[in-house]
Chain A
Amino acid sequence: MDTDAVPDLNLTAALEAVSAARSPEQLAELRREYLGKRGVAARVKETIKSLSPEDRPIVGQAVSLFTAKITEALDAADAVAGPETIDESPIDLTLRGHGRKRGHMHLVTQCRRDLEDVFVSLGYQVAEGPEVESDWYNFEALNFPPGHPARAMQDTLYVDLGEPEQVLLRTHTSPVQVRVMESQTPPIYCVMPGRTYRNETLDARHSPVFHQIEGLAVDRGLTFGDLAGTIEAFTSAYFGQKVKSRLLPSYFPFTEPSAEFALSCVFCDGSGCRVCSNTGWIELGGCGMVDPNVFRSVGIDPEEFSGFAFGFGLERMPMLRYGVEPIKTFFDNDVRFLTRY
């Protein structure tokens, strides 16, 4: 079935005319011409009753098809060209549903990513390890022999596996250093973020769980100057150029020389305030050159390679940067806090 039987209904020409039309006014004109009361389709339809009974259905179907196709084409063209009039009933775009939209990453995760990115840009990789560790990885391989007084500095949470006090919840991320050195050959430039534990009850100032990030570099010719420079590089990358860092001698069994590093107080710019106890400095973490005993316990020759390590608490960073306190806030999971950052 087509319209060819009715020469007046030139569908092809009509469709070309519709597709050539550009403006809403032209389309309205064509609609009148083809489909209006005095239009082409109406005029042909007028003629039907004068036709023979056998021709009537043929012409009738041709008119229906013409009308349908042209209507479809004009409607589509109208939609593109735009209607002649607009619906002016307003919609208030400021009226919004209250429901959840986008969620929030935990502030500690944000901080961890920021720091990982800083270290990645300094040429470091990222490693992780288990949270339940053996005494060997948490203490012994790190040059804490049994009964060493430095062990008493850590409130260790032991796990009911193996011999008594053989398995524990890691007290620091440093066991990952040992695992990395066991499984990789130098040069190693690696940061190790993760969760650590202390035998504490969650209250305003204590938490049984917190996060640390630890850095380890093992290479030929690394010096204490490289360690100090690295600490300066990442603290200024995270806190900004005006923050200064300071290193004071300290003691950790797995590094020597060991130091504690501090930042110039971000609250008073070093002039002294309540947060920094008027010292102008805020202690951030510990660091030092990897102790030769640690290298020996993982089979790295301390004469060939030297290295440095540093670590600090992740929660401290947002505490310093945004004033979050107390530490319990990080683990209460109050949605007002979780959705604040």
Chain B
Amino acid sequence: MRAPLSWIREFAPIEAEPSAIAEALDRLGLEVEAIETPGREIVGVRVARALEVRKHPNADKLSLVEVDYGDGTTTVVCGAPNVVAGMVVAFAPSGATLPGGFTLEKRKIRGETSDGMLCSARELGLGDDHEGIMSLGEGSALGTDVRDVLGLHDVVFDLSITPNRPDAMSVIGIARELAAHFDVVLNISEPENTTAGSRTADDISVEIEAIDACPRFTARRIAVTMGASPVWMQQRLALAGMRSISNVVDVTNYVMLERGHPLHAFDLSRLPGRGIIVRLAREKETLTTLDGVPRILTPVDLLVCDAQGDGQAIAGIMGGSQAEVQTSTTEVLLEAAYFTPMGISKTSKRLGLRSEASARFERGVDPNGVLAASTRAAQLLIEVAAAQVAPEPIDVYPEPVQREKISVRTARVNAILGLDLSAEWIKDSLTPLGIAIEVDATLDDGFIAVAPTYRPDLEREIDIIEEVGRRVGLDEIPRTLPHTTEQGGGLTVRQRERRLVTDVLVGMGCSEAMTVPLIAPDDVAAIGLDPDCTVRASNALRSEEPVLRPSLIPGLLRAAAYNAGLSRADLALFEVGHVFLPPVGDELLPDERDRLAVLIAGTVRRAPVELDRPVDVHDVTEIIDALSVALELADLRLEAGPAPGFHPTRSAAVLVDGESIGHVGEIAPGVGERVGVGRPLVALEVDLDALLDGIRRQRTFVPLSRFPTSSVDLAFVLGDGVSAGAVQATLTATGGELLEHVYPFDEFRPGGRSRSVAFALCFRAADRTLTDSEVAEVRQECIDAVVRVHGAEFRT
């Protein structure tokens, strides 16, 4: 909403500086996005008349315009199609300066000299309209500074109005707020229902078939003389960012800006049956709106139709082209109505059609301000369009909207705001906003606030409390801190452990990535998952990436690819985040889980201290081990086996307490190459909660034995498919309490035969020095167990 200061001052005589007014608007919740003084940088732009318009000899889309600027005539090249001889325009001669500090010079355009330019509204800093040259209308002497004609000395506040404040979508609404704030009187004279120049009784009809969507509809029959609106009206419209169309259309827009109530004028002669029917649209009914676009409608859309039932406007959003007011119009039907917000909002959203009118109706205009708006328009039409107005409008309003009566408790106001205001202060603060106060004897310490119908946001006590807060100034309320003594702050064990997981990964050299969870179906298929068994967004703007990731790996691969493109192929990334699996059973929401994934690629750079080497699976298994140690997991094991997306013989399932929680290993050949990431590429992905749910090691203290150890080395020939980890687990189990630790220290494949793995075992008893025979006994048990369980061959 663009509100010119001079217009605001018409209703509220505020003397404060523009900067102080802007600050007040912010404090009131009418956020100032910009304070504009359009004329500040404009120098030397003058009123001129186009005397003659000729085709440019060397360019189809340009014309040569001869202008009279009062002190003489000159020629400019112009590209706008709307310039015609006789038009009064804003002429910026060479030497003139436009907003942005741009100074014009005489120059040749396609061989013809242009002595300056003709300006569009946007070029003068008046809104966004740059479709054509701005027409100034008659009445100003040629040569006059356009700043005087257009009121460009004015200050315009560009406000961002929240959806709950229809009233602030109008100059009067803004003036009301400021008048209350600056404690000045608000002067709004209710327009008198004038019959000046009236000549005919009404012979038009109004019928509302959809009373829920249109509780009120008024129509006035007005004879008009079409023409341009006066300069003062054009000025204000321009400052408010609207284009001047014709006196009749300008009046409807002017009243909308002034009072926040959209109006519509139909050409009565092109409204068959001379009447109105308001009804819901039929399925697939079409209507061409005045922007020339055919709109396909549904039964939720509300139509304003002629008396024969043909749609003439999409109610509250945009008129149709058939009954549009044009230069030949002599009589109009002026609509002023109240359409309910919900319907306007739905239709506007569905059609993607937003207008100044819909922005107001969907917030909720004042149902009881309808007639005043219509009367104000009639008054203005008499003034600017020599209108003859029928004495009384037709007003269909079967169930008038009543003002809300709201009980307000003083104590409650103070309890919510943290203040100690008196009932009198509160009441006095509300009345300038149009809220009436009534006494309620049943209330001990309170009153009744009667909300004006232009404030549909005021329905409940809390709404009134907010108004009091705004009147005090939310920023003026003394700041305190709550007493949070009843509950201690802190992280849960699970939250602390999640931090620990991240810390371990960082400590292991991985950096945390955050990837976009919406991915392409192909990325899902590439890691061996079924893209049809995923959860998808239904309206993703990037329609090629609609899948909610079922795995973190594709995102990390994309991140690796991004870095490979930057010649940063060596990387170790991890991500902790949600994945989305189809809902379980008849759940509505997806099976959403927290996962942890690591992706390591390229070369481990150690030169010149050690040798460089390509990354390998051990770079990720050591991360698994580090997590297991940090979390003190009692039973985390790897079990060799294939997994989707992983190399068939170089991957393993991660088992916690015997249950698989994810996979680790080399990424399957081709997966990285597909997105431009070379091998080697190793990864792990586990379910984070399943990891953290793992049973933890006993923390009971075991006395530290002071007796000597006995070391034993055992080597076994292992068949295919027997993992060292499994053999180690068997040794650990068999060695029992006497086995202090065991680790593999050698692996070799003698001449292409099965591989041999050697383990170092260290025995120690808690209470004695182990004898040679005791050691021999447990050694033999270990050998026997491995041979028996794994079919291994003991190497002597």
Contacts and interface: CB of A to CB of B under 8 A. Distances in A.
Nearest to A155: B541
Interface residues of B, number: 96
Contacts of A232: 479
B216 interface: no
A160 B506 contact: no
A230 B481 CA distance: 6
B488 A123 contact: yes
A36 interface: no
B589 A134 contact: yes
Interface centre among B29, B417, B474 (most CB of A within 10 A): B474
A335 B482 contact: no
A257 B469 contact: yes
B415 A306 contact: yes
B506 A126 contact: no
A334 B486 CA distance: 45
Contacts of B164: 251
A51 interface: no
A331 B515 contact: yes
Nearest to A109: B512
A233 B470 CA distance: 23
A306 B346 contact: no
A208 to B, nearest CB: 6
Nearest to A307: B482
B613 to A, nearest CB: 10
Given A199-B539, A292-B462, A134 B588 contact: yes
B486 A132 contact: no
A333 B474 contact: no
Contacts of A189: 482, 484, 487, 489
Interface stretch (B97-105, B565-573, B660-668): B565-573
B735 to A, nearest CB: 30
A334 B566 contact: yes
A339 interface: yes
A157 B489 contact: no
Given A103-B511, A124-B489, A289 B416 contact: yes
Contacts, number: 275
Contact of B541 (A98, A134, A201): A201
B733 interface: no
Contact of B506 (A104, A120, A149): A104
Interface string B505-533: 11111111111111000000000000000
Contact of B610 (A97, A147, A256): A97
B466 A257 contact: yes
A336 B460 contact: no
B480 A223 contact: yes
A230 B516 contact: no
A55 interface: no
Contacts of B505: 103
B26 interface: yes
A106 B578 CA distance: 16
A159 B509 contact: no
A98 B535 CA distance: 42
B236 interface: no
A103 B487 contact: no
Contact of A224 (B477, B487, B499): B477
B679 interface: no
B542 interface: yes
B563 interface: yes
A224 B605 CA distance: 57
A160 B513 contact: no
Contacts of A152: 163, 345, 349
Interface string A155-175: 001111110101101000000
Given A130-B589, A159-B537, A219-B486, 4 more contacts: A133-B589, A149-B362, A251-B162, A257-B416
23 contacts: A98-B607, A100-B570, A103-B505, A120-B490, A123-B488, A125-B492, A132-B590, A148-B163, A149-B345, A152-B345, A158-B537, A159-B538, A166-B588, A167-B588, A223-B418, A225-B417, A226-B418, A229-B480, A230-B482, A246-B475, A250-B31, A251-B165, A333-B514
Instruction: In the A-B complex, list the 4 residue pairs whose CB atoms are closest, starting with the nearest.
Output: A249-B29, A223-B418, A123-B484, A225-B418
